[in-house]
Amino acid sequence: MFESVLVANRGEIAVRVFRTLRRLGIRSVAVHSDADAGARHVREADEAVRVPSYLDIDAVVEAARSTGAQAVHPGYGFLAENTAFARACAEAGIVFVGPPAEAIEAMGDKIRAKRTVAAAGVPVVPGRDEPGLSDEELAAAALEVGLPVLLKPSAGGGGKGMRLVRDAADLPEAIASARREARGSFGDDTLLAERFVANPRHIEIQVFADAHGNAVHLGERECSLQRRHQKIVEEAPSPLLDEETRARMGASAVAAARAVGYVGAGTVEYIVSADRPGEYFFMEMNTRLQVEHPVTERAVTIDGRPDPDLVELQLRAAAGEPLPFTQEQVAFRGHAVEARVYAEDPARGFLPTGGTVLSLTEPDGEHVRVDSGLDEGTEVGGSYDPMLAKVIVWGPDRAQALRRLDRALAGYRLLGVATNVAFLRSLTRHPEVAAGRLDTGLVERVLDDLTAGTGTPPEVLAAAALERVLALETPAPDPWEIPDGWRPGAPAWTPWIITPAGGDPVEVRVQGRAHDATVAIGDTRARASLRRDGDTLTLVHEGRTLTFAAARDGHTLWLGRDGHAWSLTEHVRAETGGATAATGDGVLRSPMPGTVLAVKVAEGEAVAEGQPVVVVEAMKMEHTVTAPVAGVVKRLPVRAGAQVALDAVLAVIEEE
């Protein structure tokens, strides 16, 4: 076994790999960018080395060489599936904890991968995958395959660059957009066209192979709950498969791995029709550890022992050891579910968010696990993927696992950065999810239901106003300085203007002291009281007692409860209107902090309502900002490559 391993990654996966290295007594080395100098993964490593970028192959290899690391674990993302990196490690005499470069190369190109596994008898989705197709040829191929069709980058995964096209008129723009995103993400804009399977379910098989010719699978994971082609909830086993189908899919996945001489951990992904669960097609093979590998760790036993450590198995395979078990020793035990915590706003189309983690309480307890790269003070920006943490639970059956996940998410409190935690609770409690009726389009279909009622409740506004009153009270107060409305005659009202994030200012009027007040919001009045105990606020409002986690950042108060987090700013009136376009004045604003990828118009140009004007990218997500009205572009203050802040002016259009 190795004595020292460098982890060429960041965030929760680096922290998770370090956990295994510590348990095995292996010295750990981290790399970090300037932005991550104070990150948790840097502090948890035995040694850390600055690199210009996590994608800088020469710098990462030199960091391993200079620190004496015998092996490099790539995690996922960044260089994990980079053939040049795997070869560079080998040339430097450093073990790459992953498959041979030839296997990465074979499976990294979707066109070649489909042909390779098809030759091994693995079923593939019908489509056209000739390399070098022009835009016109690709459009013709898509029509030949038959609409709806899925355009996919040949060189990468993770949902980046994928476009679903249902109308032939949309093909030119979809091809251009998919090529641009594929080129930016993978350096290769080759696309392929595949038949879109109706009611598709995303089911993947975890495989392991060693350098001695042994290969096994560890069952499946259901990954059908997705947004923007990226997974948000995964579980094992799948509620769709029976034992016979599971065995056939597992054997197919092992055949795919053997076809490319695979070594280590890999995942073979299939698309399965919800209407015909016995029919499945190969999508791609991820030649690395998956984000959702903890689901398999919690749900599988090996030779009767629960919770196998897949990172340890990776290290042992990379060190040349044979697999310590056979296929017959693998079995499922109960049910595991994982939910991904993202820095994003589901109510605004899952746009990325950011900020500083002011307060953090992650759930724990029996059969609850959190893989996280966060701690208080962490800066969440737009430079990296928006995933912050994963909450994984186990239960003796699926229903109990889902209930346990709901309670764990209710206990997840992160203040300072808007996340999707409350959305995850709504999703996992949805009747279709509870019944196991899943497909990759479910989240989009029920999105309005899942984000309904995401406004700020009156009790939260009351707590924010009373928190301000409480802050101004002192142990021996001067009655003339307390904003309690005291007067020689009848008490007066003290107004507070509070602006919830993404909302309009609200006037909350308070009469009395924080411990005994009347709070009025609009025409509604309620008796309320508030007390503080450290970072906890306890509110009594209309007879209900509610506890909030609280953190303040200047004029902004963050309150958290039951997985929800509210950002409330005092005395700051927000501009009205949506950030994705404008109010009625033709001003287009950036819907997120990020980088301008493309400017599709020029000053003085006439534009139609709904016409694309600027494309903004953040955290690997593109967003096209369109003209809210027909008119003429009078001002265009941005250019491609420019960094823009949230709500920055992108263009001004004068209505005709």
- Stretch (H or E) spanning 72: strand 71-73
- Quick: pLDDT tens for 162-212: 999 999 999 999 999 999 999 988 889 999 998 888 889 999 999 999 999
Q: Looking at residue 577, what is its pLDDT? A: 34
Distance CA 2, CA 26 (A): 7
* Torsions phi, psi for 226 (to 5 deg): -140, 155
CATH, range 4-97: 3.40.50.20
Q: Where in the sequence of the chain do the CATH 3.40.50.20 domains occur?
A: 4-97
Farthest CA pair distance, the chain: 91
Helix (H, G, I), strand (E, B) or coil at 539: strand
Q: What is the pLDDT of residue 329?
A: 98
Q: Which residues, other chains included, contact 7 with Cβ-Cβ below 8 Å and sequence gap of 6+?
A: 13, 14, 17, 18, 21, 28, 29, 30, 31, 41, 45, 72, 73, 75
pLDDT computed for residue 477 by the predictor? 55
Which residues in the chain are classed under CATH 3.30.700.30? 458-570
d(CA 37, CA 628) in angstroms, rounded, equals 42
Cβ contacts of 272 within 8 Å, gap of 6 or more:
200, 201, 202, 203, 240, 279, 280, 281
Q: What is the pLDDT of residue 491?
A: 67
Please, which pLDDT band fits residue 383 given cuts at 50, 70 and 90?
confident
Report helix, strand or coil for 504.
Answer: coil
pLDDT tens across 96-105, in order?
Answer: 999 999 999 9
State the first-to-last Cα distance of the chain, in angstroms, to the nearest integer. 72
Whole-angstrom distance, CA of residue 568 vs CA of residue 464: 7
Which position has the higher pLDDT, 583 or 311? 311
Helix axes of 11-24 and 310-318: crossing angle, nearest 10 degrees = 70
Q: What angle do CA 264, 270, 275 make, to 5 degrees?
A: 155
**Checking phi first, is residue 198 left (phi over 0); if not, alpha (psi -120 to 50) or beta?**
beta
Helix axes 101-108, 83-91, angle to 10 degrees: 170
Question: 46-55, 153-162, 614-623: lowest mean pLDDT where?
Answer: 614-623
Q: Are 20 and 2 in contact (CB under 8 A)?
A: no
Cα(107)–Cα(154) distance, integer angstroms: 10
Is residue 537 within 8 Å of residue 477, measured between CB atoms?
Answer: no
What tokens does 214 get? 């042994």
Going by pLDDT thresholds of 50, 70 and 90, the confidence category of residue 581 is very low
| Cα–chain center distance at 86 | 26
The CATH T-level fold of domain 126-195 is: Dna Ligase; domain 1 (3.30.1490)
Q: Output the CATH code of domain 197-333.
A: 3.30.470.20
Domain 335-454 falls under CATH 3.40.1160.10? no
Q: Give per-residue pLDDT as tens, 123-159.
A: 998 888 788 899 999 999 999 988 889 999 988 766 7
Distance of alpha carbon 522 from alpha carbon 501, whole angstroms: 19
- Measured CA to CA, the distance from residue 541 to residue 549 in angstroms comes to 16
Which H or E run contains 423? helix 421-428
> Which amino acid does the sequence have at 467?
E
Contact (Cβ atoms closer than 8 angstroms) between residue 383 and residue 428: no
Within 260-301, residue ranges assigned H as helices are: 293-299
Res 612 pLDDT > 70 = yes
DSSP line for 310-326:
HHHHHHHHHTTPPPSS-
Look at strands 524-533 and 631-635 and give their pairing. Answer: unpaired
Residues of the chain with CATH 3.30.470.20: 197-333, 335-454
pLDDT digits (tens, 9 = 90+) for 285-325: 999 999 999 999 999 999 999 999 999 999 999 999 999 99
Q: For domain 458-570, which architecture applies?
A: 2-Layer Sandwich (3.30)
pLDDT bracket for residue 479 (50, 70, 90): low
Give residue-wise pLDDT tens across range 460-469: 999 999 999 9
The pLDDT score that the predictor gives to residue 579 is: 35
Cβ partners under 8 Å of residue 220, min gap 6: 203, 204, 205, 206, 236, 237, 238, 241, 246, 249, 250
Give the start-end residues of each E strand in 111-199: 127-128, 149-153, 163-165, 191-195
Q: What is the CATH number of domain 587-655?
A: 2.40.50.100
Q: Give the phi and the psi of residue 584 in degrees, each rounded to 5.
A: -90, 10
